Structure formats: C-alpha cells, structure tokens
C-alpha cells in the first residue's frame, strides 16, 4: 500500500512540476525543489522533460535562441548541423548550459549539462548522440560545457585569459572566433 501511495505522490509531483508554465527566461533553467531528491528514476525523468521543455521553447523562439547561442557543432565531413550549446541565465545569479543535438531522422536530443543531481556521477547522461548523412558522433556533455567556456572566455581566477585559452584542446581553440566547433576525430564515425 505504501509503495502505491509513494508512486502516486511521485507521479502527481512530477506532473505538477512539468505542467508549470515558466513566465521568465530564468524560469526555464531554474531547477525547482521537490520531495523526491535522491529518487533516481524521478530525477532522470524530470531532467529529461525539463530539458525537452527548454529545447522546445528555443525552437519556438528562434530570435531568442540566437541571442543565447554560444556555439554550433558541425560535421567535419560537410559541415552539417549536429548540435548547439546555449547558456540560460539563472536568478538571482548563475547560468545553466543546454546542449541540443540533431539526429538524421529529424529528431533532436536535449540535456542540461550542469544539472544538480543528488548523485551527479551516476545519473547524468555522459553524452548525446548526433548524426547526419555523413556519419555520427557521441558528443560528451562536458565538451558542450567547454564550448560555452571558450566562447565566453571563462577562466580560473589565477589564470590570465591567454593561459586559459591555451589550456583548451586544439579543436575548441580553432572554433572560438566563428563559434563553430567540430567533434574530435576520435568521436566521429563516418558512414
């Protein structure tokens, strides 16, 4: 009986959180509090739905999406569009990165890169698939965070901007000026 009540409460809470209509930009990236922190299935489903909702908002508002776009991922063979990295502001401070990848079937995958899980190492997806007519890649989520970091000039307090730039991998340094990045050769699988 307790299990059924727990699952009913959990499902009601999930639906309440997902049905909430954000009124500001920061609300899309905000991670609301809930009573199921530590429930792996709940956290994973909630993150997936929350990511999907933010991605749909960007697809419906291309002008806004262009304003928070930090980098575009393209295929190394012909330059097909594989994915994007967006940076949402949080209130009162902070930011959250959204990675969106494209599949050859016309579908997209979305995931918050820096989502606060109860056990981050175990729950967070490690990569998002991206495909085009010329091949496929498994794009790591921390790589999307690096795209945002190099595009925005993030650095450690003890580093100069030049030192921070030199610490990034070569494929990311090449894309800084145009904000166009290609997956590392080891991740790319040509058809």
Task: Round to whole Å and give the CA distance between 70 and 61.
Answer: 16
How far from 54 is each of 19, 106, 117, CA to CA, in Å?
Answer: 13, 18, 18
Name the residue range of residue 183's domain. Answer: 2-190
Helix, strand, or coil (residue 179): coil
Burial (Cβ within 10 Å: 0-12, 13-18, ≥19) of residue 90? middle
Query: Residue 81 — very low, low, confident or very high, per pLDDT cuts 50/70/90?
Result: very high
**Looking at the whole model, is its pTM more than 0.85?**
no
Helix, strand, or coil (residue 79): coil
Query: Residue 122 — very low, low, confident or very high, per pLDDT cuts 50/70/90?
Result: low
Residue 5 and residue 35 in contact, taking contact as beta carbons nearer than 8 Å: no
Can you give the pLDDT at residue 121?
Answer: 57
Q: Which residue has the higher pLDDT, 135 or 89?
A: 135
Number of domains in the chain: 1
| 143-164 confidence digits (pLDDT tens) | 998 899 888 887 777 788 888 8
Q: In what order do the strands lie in the sheet with 188-190?
A: 127-132, 135-140, 188-190
The backbone torsions φ and ψ at residue 139, rounded to the nearest 5 degrees and listed phi first, read -90, 120
Q: Which residue has the higher pLDDT, 2 or 150?
A: 150
Task: Round to whole Å and give the CA distance between 151 and 85.
Answer: 10
Residue 30 has pLDDT above 80, yes or no: no
CA nearest 85: which of 102, 72, 96? Answer: 72
35-51: b (≥16 Cβ within 10 Å) or e:
ebeebeebbeebbeebb
Provide, for the chain, the percentages of residues in helix, strand and coil under a 3-state DSSP scheme, each rounded to the nearest 5.
Answer: 40, 25, 35
Average pLDDT over residues 90-99: 82
Query: Residue 133 — very low, low, confident or very high, per pLDDT cuts 50/70/90?
Result: very high
Q: Which of 5-9, 70-74, 141-145, 174-178 has the lowest mean pLDDT?
A: 5-9
Can you give the pLDDT at residue 96?
Answer: 85
User: Which two tokens mark 23?
Assistant: 């009124």
Q: Which residue has the higher pLDDT, 93 or 178?
A: 178
Task: Round to whole Å and give the CA distance between 76 and 104.
Answer: 15
């Amino acid at each position: 009986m307790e299990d059924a009540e727990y699952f009913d409460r959990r499902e009601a809470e999930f639906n309440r959180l997902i049905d909430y209509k954000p009124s500001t930009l920061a609300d899309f990236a905000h991670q609301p509090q809930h009573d199921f922190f530590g429930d792996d299935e709940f956290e994973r489903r909630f993150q997936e739905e929350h990511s999907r909702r933010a991605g749909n908002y960007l697809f419906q508002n291309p002008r806004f999406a262009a304003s928070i776009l930090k980098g575009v991922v393209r295929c190394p063979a012909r330059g097909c569009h594989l994915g994007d990295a967006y940076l949402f502001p949080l209130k009162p401070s902070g930011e959250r990165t959204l990675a969106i990848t494209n599949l050859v079937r016309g579908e997209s995958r979305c995931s918050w890169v820096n989502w606060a899980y109860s056990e981050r190492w175990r729950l967070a997806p490690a990569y998002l698939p991206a495909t085009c007519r010329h091949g496929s890649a498994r794009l790591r989520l921390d790589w999307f965070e690096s795209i945002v970091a190099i595009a925005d000039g993030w650095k450690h307090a003890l580093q100069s901007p030049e030192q921070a730039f030199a610490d990034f991998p070569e494929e990311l340094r090449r894309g800084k000026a145009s904000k166009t990045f290609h997956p590392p050769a080891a991740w790319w699988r040509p058809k």
